[in-house]
Amino acid sequence: MVVNVHQFKQWKRDGRAIVVLTAWDYMSGQIVVQAGADIVLVGDSLAMVALGYETTLPLTLEEMLHHAKAVRRAVDRVPLVVDMPFLSYQVSVAGAIHSAGRVLQETEATAVKVEGGHPAIAPTIAALVQVGIPVMGHVGLTPQSVNQFGGFRRQGTSAESAQRILEEAKAVEAAGAFCIVLEHIPAELAQQISQTLTIPTIGIGAGAHCDGQVLVTADVLGLSSWQPKFAKAYGNLRQSAIDAAHQFCEEVRTRRFPNP
């Protein structure tokens, strides 16, 4: 059965947890689909995972399109969501529609993801939905605002900031988003938002009470050189890969590969 974005509200009502994993190329797309992810996200985290940037900010729309096309070739029967890079949707509503339209048209993605709530972003979400572009929202720690936050710091820790994030989440839902990512916020706040909204919440570093969870696949596989505190590595493929490549180097130097 092909899953569409409208089914996730019912999953929330049924208490069925939603699994989201990221992908950045054809191979990672194959891995997460075969693993059973419900949604594949081409996250702007690929800026760091695949391109070596220190933050997501340098990532361009053209780079995102390039990677999303590769992931799409591996993803078939589950929704593919593509992150909108910095400045591809914040400058104007018309610009956001054009950029998001390119994403759907050129990558055959199911939906796009944008960061932020009101007053600036909610009207943009509403405009995208109105022209037929499904949107995943994202509040809390929004990595494209890392310089404003002063680093990748936990958000919503004060009563004032928690209320702001709650109101942003409400605005994202009212604008028509089909689900929303809650990143690096207190579990109590994530639970409150999850209980308040009718659309599913997808947590990342936001506790166990969200309607689903997302992690960067490189973190899950133990490929990353640095892990966020809230991520969990289910393997250590980075060291395994280094060991395998090192063994090849040694066998070539000692003329054990290829065998005579």
Q: Is 113 annotated as a binding residue?
A: yes
> Which residues in the chain belong to E strands, given as ranges?
18-22, 39-42, 80-83, 111-113, 135-140, 179-183, 201-204, 212-215
CA quadruple 145, 70, 91, 175: dihedral sign: negative
Q: Is 12 annotated as a binding residue?
A: no
Tokens for 192, please give them.
Answer: 């409150």
45 is in an annotated binding site: yes
Give the phi and the psi of residue 81 in degrees, each rounded to 5: -110, 135
Closest CA to 137 of 106, 104, 183, 97: 183
Structure tokens at 55: 């933050």
SS3 state of residue 63: helix
Rounded to the nearest 10°, the torsion over CA 156, 159, 161, 166 is 80
Residue 44 known to bind ligand: yes
Phi, psi of 15 (to 5 degrees): 75, 20
CA distance 61 to 88: 7
The response to whether 14 counts as a known ligand-binding position is: no
What are the backbone angles phi and psi of residue 242, rounded to the nearest 5°?
-65, -45
| Residues with catalytic function | 183
Annotated binding site: 44-45, 83, 113, 115
Annotated binding site for Mg(2+): 44, 83, 115
Annotated binding site for 3-methyl-2-oxobutanoate: 44-45, 83, 113
